[in-house]
Structure 1
């Protein structure tokens, strides 16, 4: 398991990345419902990060990151499907997904 300080730092970075994706979501007018749902669910999970950290339960942290990585992968697939999305939206989702993948690899 990663040192607690690194976990906190990575979770903080992850919260920022999810926040940017949620902001991009708000700016989009014609967004597929599927992508909207994935980002909203990621935002909800992101809100739980502080709660999960307080429990100091490594299994819950791993499960949270795994669940978020799965949702991030789905959001990324929607962005890559050729739909007319803004560069900001695509960039925010890709950045968020990359943060999730890197964190997940370091966690396991």
Structure 2
């Protein structure tokens, strides 16, 4: 298993991407509602995840990463059907989901 400091460092970068996507979703009126909903749910889960990552409970961390990765997958699927999505939102969602998928693979 990865060291907890490495997991927290990587999560910090992922969290930044999620926050960037959430901010962009809040300011853009033309994004599909299902994409906005996924990103908002993702942001809420990532906020709660901070405590879990601080706990250093490996099982809880794996479960949390699994949940975040699953929400990210739904957000990325919502992106695929959306036209006119800002490149910043698209990049943030795809990058965060990719990083979560990689982290999930390394934790299992």
TM-score norm. by structure 1 comes to 0.90
Aligned-pair CA distance for 1:3: 0.9
Q: Report the secondary structure of 1:85's partner residue.
A: coil
How many residues are aligned here? 108
Rounded Cα–Cα distance in structure 1 between residues aligned with 2:89 and 2:65: 21
Rounded Cα–Cα distance in structure 2 between residues aligned with 1:51 and 1:84: 36
The residue aligned with 2:69 is: 69
Q: Structure 2, unaligned stretches of length 5 or more?
A: none
Question: Within 5 A, what are the aligned runs for 1:69-88?
Answer: 69-88=69-88
Rounded Cα–Cα distance in structure 1 between residues aligned with 2:54 and 2:107: 18
Aligned-pair CA distance for 1:40: 0.8
Q: Report the secondary structure of 1:48's partner residue.
A: helix
Rounded Cα–Cα distance in structure 1 between residues aligned with 2:27 and 2:90: 12
Q: Which runs of 4+ in 1 moved over 4 A?
A: none
Measured on the aligned residues, the alpha-carbon RMSD in Å equals 1.3
Say which is worse superposed, 64-73 or 97-106, in terms of deviation.
97-106
Question: Within 5 A, what are the aligned runs for 1:1-108?
Answer: 1-108=1-108
TM-score norm. by structure 2 comes to 0.90
Q: Structure 1, unaligned stretches of length 5 or more?
A: none
Rounded Cα–Cα distance in structure 1 between residues aligned with 2:78 and 2:11: 24
Say which is worse superposed, 71-80 or 47-56, in terms of deviation.
47-56
Q: Is the 8 A contact 2:21 2:92 kept in 1?
A: yes
Aligned-pair CA distance for 1:52: 0.5
